[in-house]
């Protein structure tokens, strides 16, 4: 599984103009599944997202995770992260997990997040979402499990 994480001062997901999820300071995680992924990889990615140290300590060094810093996490399913972009000018999606399996893996990822961290929001799988954020830093990392 793949997560593109960004440290944010705020982030939100809207569908048809209605906000369905929002956080203040924390982390936005865009999440995609690949065909070889399973529940174990979903749990491992959730662990990595929550443990990745992107928040500043008292010396302004990135030494705190979302759990350490008690920061919110907004997870958004985004299959396009798994696109094959090695050739041409149009992405291919044969490298992305089929939607029915990907939905279950995203649910596994969310369950693992929620079991370890209490400040979690999520986007809606398969919806046409408008994601807004203010990237803090900017700080952005690509994680795989």
| Each residue's pLDDT tens digit, 62-86 | 999 999 999 999 999 999 999 999 9
Question: Which of 32, 4, 25, 101 lies closest to 70, judged by CA?
Answer: 25
Number of structural domains in the chain: 1
**Contact of 47 with 112, CB cutoff 8 Å:** yes
User: Which residues form the domain of 52?
Assistant: 2-144
Q: Report residue 37's pLDDT band, with 50, 70 and 90 as the boundaries.
A: very high
Query: Could you tell me what percent of the chain has a pLDDT over 70?
Result: 100
Closest C-alpha among 116, 81, 117, 121 to residue 102: 81
Model confidence at 135, pLDDT cuts 50, 70, 90, reads: very high
78 is catalytic: yes
Determine if the pTM surpasses 0.75: yes
Tally helices (H) and strands (E) across the chain.
Answer: 3, 8
Q: Which of 9, 19, 40, 80 is catalytic?
A: 80
Q: Give catalytic status of residue 80 as yes or no.
A: yes
Query: Of 55, 79, 106, 109, which residue is the catalytic one?
Result: 79
Catalytic residue among 6, 55, 78, 122: 78
Here the CATH number for the domain that contains residue 89 is: 3.50.80.10
């Amino acid at each position: 599984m793949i997560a593109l994480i960004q440290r944010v001062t705020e982030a939100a997901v809207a569908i048809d103009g209605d906000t369905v999820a929002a956080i203040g300071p924390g982390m936005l995680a865009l999440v995609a599944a690949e065909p070889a992924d399973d529940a174990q990889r979903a749990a491992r990615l959730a662990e990595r997202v929550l443990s990745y140290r992107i928040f500043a300590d008292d010396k302004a060094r990135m030494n705190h995770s979302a759990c350490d810093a008690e920061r919110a996490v907004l997870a958004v399913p985004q299959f396009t992260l798994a696109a094959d972009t090695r050739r041409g000018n149009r992405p291919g999606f044969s490298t992305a997990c089929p939607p029915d399996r990907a939905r279950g893996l995203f649910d596994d990822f969310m369950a693992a997040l929620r079991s370890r961290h209490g400040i979690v929001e999520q986007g809606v799988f398969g919806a046409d979402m408008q994601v807004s954020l203010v990237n803090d830093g900017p700080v952005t990392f690509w994680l795989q499990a």
